[in-house]
């Protein structure tokens, strides 16, 4: 399946629930709403034409205006890849867990919560694993976070 065929299949399957973004350099990139993440991911995995059986990565982005959560999906058998992006408000950012679709999301979602402060609803074990258990100094991956004894250089 070509990149264009994959893009058209996903647009045809989900209609207005996905927005194709031209920013994907190698793999098709779609923006979706937070409330659709679990359903769309489940359908991408269960669709026999696609079979996205592998969550290759899940990461956060702080744009200073909002957060983005990016899902990199792959179909090992079909040799396909696709990326999904969800935009979340900076205040009270929340997204549903996709652990029921891909159990490997566990670590990625915990990292998202721990380092960005994005709440992952329905996650069965949202506990720290990178920072100390008693960490109370903010979220280190946010652009507005200053490490103790760190002086941020002014932008030029």
State pLDDT tens for residues 76-121: 999 999 999 999 999 999 999 999 999 999 999 999 999 999 999 9
Residue 65 lies in a domain: yes
Residue 36 lies in a domain: yes
Instruction: Give the CATH number, domain containing residue 73.
Output: 3.30.460.80
Hey, what are 45's tokens?
Answer: 């995995």
Hey, what are 119's tokens?
Answer: 């709440």
Residues 39-59, mean pLDDT to the nearest whole number: 97
CB 93 within 8 A of CB 120: no
What is the Cα 15 distance to its own chain's centre? 20
Q: What is the pLDDT of residue 19?
A: 97
Please, which pLDDT band fits residue 53 given cuts at 50, 70 and 90? very high
Residue 106 lies in a domain: no
Residues 47-67, mean pLDDT to the nearest whole number: 96
Q: What is the pLDDT of residue 26?
A: 84
pLDDT greater at residue 135 or residue 95:
95
Q: What are phi and psi of 93, to 5 degrees?
A: -70, 130
Give yes or no for residue 150 having a pLDDT over 80: no
Domains identified in the chain, total number: 1
Residue 69 lies in a domain: yes
Residue 151 lies in a domain: no
Which domain, by its residues, includes 27? 3-96
Task: Give the number of residues written for the chain.
Answer: 156
Global confidence as pTM = 0.91
Residue 78 lies in a domain: yes
Radius of gyration of the chain (CA): 17
Hey, what are 73's tokens?
Answer: 């999906």
Mean pLDDT of the chain, nearest integer: 93
Residue 41 lies in a domain: yes
35 SS3 class? helix
Residue 138 lies in a domain: no
């Amino acid at each position: 399946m070509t990149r264009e065929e994959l893009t058209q299949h996903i647009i045809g399957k989900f209609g207005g629930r996905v927005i194709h973004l031209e920013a994907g350099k190698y793999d098709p990139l779609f923006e979706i709403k937070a409330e659709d993440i679990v359903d769309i991911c489940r359908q991408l995995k269960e669709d026999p034409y696609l079979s996205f059986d592998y969550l290759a990565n899940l990461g956060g982005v702080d744009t200073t205006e909002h957060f983005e959560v990016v899902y990199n999906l792959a179909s090992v058998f079909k040799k396909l890849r696709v990326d999904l992006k969800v935009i979340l408000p900076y205040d009270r950012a929340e997204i549903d867990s996709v652990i029921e679709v891909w159990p490997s999301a566990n670590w990625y979602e915990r990292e998202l919560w721990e380092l960005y402060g994005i709440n992952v609803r329905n996650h069965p074990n949202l506990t720290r694993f990178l920072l100390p258990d008693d960490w109370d100094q903010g979220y280190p991956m946010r652009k507005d976070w200053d490490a103790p004894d760190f002086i941020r250089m002014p932008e030029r």
